[in-house]
Amino acid sequence: MNSNEEKKYQELWNAVLEKIKESKLYDDAIYTTYIEPTKLFRINGNVALITVPNNVSNSIISGNLDQWKQCFAQAAGNEYTLQLILHKDVEKMMPAPMLKKQSDSLFEDRFNKLYTFDNFVVGKSNREAYAASIACCNYPGQFNNPLMIYGNSGLGKTHLLHAIGNYLKENRPESKVIYIYSEDIVTLLIEAMKNKDVHGNSVEDIKARFMECDFLLIDDIQRMKQSASQEIFFNLYNKLIAENKQIIITSDIHPSELKGIENRLISRFLSGLKVRVGSPEFETAKAILKKKIEGRNESIMIEDEVLDFIATKFSSDVRKLEGSLNELFFKAILENPGIIDLSFAQAVFSDEPIIVVEEDLSIGKIKACVCEYYGLTKSQIESKSRTKQISNARHIAVYICRKHLQVPFVKIGFSFGNRDHSTIMSSYEKAKKMIAQDPLFKTAVEQIEAKLGIR
């Protein structure tokens, strides 16, 4: 899009916003927070794409879409269908034009200033990832190369990569840092392989640009797809490591379970340090909430027990934890309760079940929860391995299955690598004994049960 077009869109959108403002559809606080940051992104045929900053903004506008359409038609002189998209999704929606620019702007500072180490709450679930990230900044390429940070979505991996970028900018301003999504590497290389990219860069040029970096931060490696470019990437990767460039990779799944990536690349990734981020335990979840509240400068008070409530309810995903806070403050703007107390919060979230209810439990769910707690894969817990961590995890999973599902040992055996029912029975007995004798073991069981919502 050229700058003339951009200006035209901006003027049109200002006119629409002016009409919305005049219509007094929203009060000032809502208008400033949720309406003003919207933009007209593009007009395609009779569809106008509007970007909105977040889901709250999305639902507010969707609630009055007819009025918005009218205002838009008045300002534009034509009727359009309005389509809302989150700012953050725009990049994903329009990969080609965004990416074409990238080969020339690989080293651009694209770090979110709010995602810093200071703003990252450290707890048991992420301590290792946090420490390893800082160590990489200070001893690049020396140990832990590559550093692989893995764990479920919404648990702070991207935050850590941005924190690394921000930290380096401040403490090692001379270092050259590339932050890139894995699929963008592929697109860059493929574009250059076809002919040259729009800037006339050949594959060799792009490789040379990558080789200039001191730090390569690759986000979401699980999205890297099988393609002819993997050979080039493999060579580039080896060269970067050989020259002690620090590589830090994030993944939503355990690296050994990556699909679409050649095994030789996976085994290279596995050769460095792997650290897992898990769901925050209660105290960390609560501290994260406090941190996020601090950053918001809200005038309305929120009672401490509300934080307990949402920390318990949403701690499996920090993004949800944050989302719940947005929702709570949003409802508070609308309903002005004076103070956000437990009954207000309970009413806001009344539609969402607080815990996983018993009937939703399954052997699979229990296994997944235990794996997550111990940082194991499904195949590890089902394997014949007798390492202490794996067999303890297996004992716990078997114990919880038996205690809460009351299914026969034979059936549990099927789900744990086709084990014999007597082996499963003895696993169950071992767990019972250890719960009685080993307080740490007992705590682990209790925490897992709490995560499953059955305590």
Kindly list the residues in this chain that would bind ligand ADP in the complex (CB under 6 A): 115, 119-121, 126, 153-159, 288, 291, 318-319, 322
Cα angle: 141, vertex 146, 148; to 5 degrees: 140
Residue with tokens 């703003």: 119
In this structure, what token pair is assigned to residue 329? 């403050």
Question: What's the CA gap between 21 and 62, in Å, rounded?
Answer: 16
> At closest approach, how far in Å is the CB of 137 from ligand ADP?
17
Q: Which is nearer to ligand ADP, 232 or 302 (CB)?
A: 302
Of the candidate spans 70-78, 156-164, 284-292, 293-301, the one that interacts with Mg ion by CB under 5 A turns out to be 156-164
Stretch that binds Mg ion, among 65-73, 112-120, 153-161, 166-174 (CB under 5 A): 153-161
Q: Which is nearer to ligand ADP, 16 or 121 (CB)?
A: 121
Q: Do residues 178 and 218 lie in contact, with contact meaning Cβ atoms separated by under 8 Å? A: no
3-state secondary structure of 44: strand
Which of ligand ADP, Mg ion, none has residue 272 at its interface (CB below 5 to 8 Å by kind)?
none
CB of 12 to ligand ADP, least distance (A): 32
- Least separation in angstroms between CB 22 and ligand ADP: 35
For residue 219, give every residue at least 6 positions away whose Cβ sits within 8 Å of its Cβ, in sequence order, or none: 157, 158, 161, 179, 180, 181, 182, 250
Tell me how far, at minimum, the Cβ of 234 lies from ligand ADP, in Å. 25
User: Among Mg ion, ligand ADP, none, what does residue 244 contact (CB within 5–8 Å per kind)?
Assistant: none
Give the x-and-dash track for 158-187 against Mg ion (CB under 5 A): x-----------------------------
Residue 373 interacts, among ligand ADP, Mg ion, none and using kind-specific CB cut-offs from 5 to 8 Å, with none
Do residues 203 and 189 lie in contact, with contact meaning Cβ atoms separated by under 8 Å?
yes
C-beta closer to Mg ion: residue 16 or 277: 277
Q: How far is the CB of 153 from ligand ADP (least distance, A)?
A: 4
Q: How far apart, in whole angstroms, are the C-alpha atoms of residue 443 and residue 96? A: 50
> Looking at beta carbons only, is 119 or 392 nearer to ligand ADP?
119
Q: At residue 42, what are phi and psi to the nearest 5 degrees?
A: -165, 155
Minimum CB distance to ligand ADP, residue 427 (Å): 33
Residue nearest to ligand ADP (CB): 156
Residues β-bridged to residue 302 = 340
Q: In the structure encoding, which two tokens stand for residue 423, read together?
A: 């082996």
Instruction: Give me the least distance between CB of 52 and ligand ADP, in Å please.
Output: 17
Q: Which tokens hold the place of 228?
A: 């002819």
SS3 147: strand
Query: What percent of the residues of the chain are helix, what percent strand, and what percent coil, each to the nearest 5?
Result: 60, 10, 30
Residue closer to Mg ion by CB (options 249, 400) is 249
Choose the one of Mg ion, ligand ADP, none that binds residue 445, judging by a C-beta under 5 to 8 angstroms depending on kind: none
Please give the Cα distance from 95 to 108 (Å, whole number).
17
Residues that bind Mg ion (CB under 5 A): 157-158
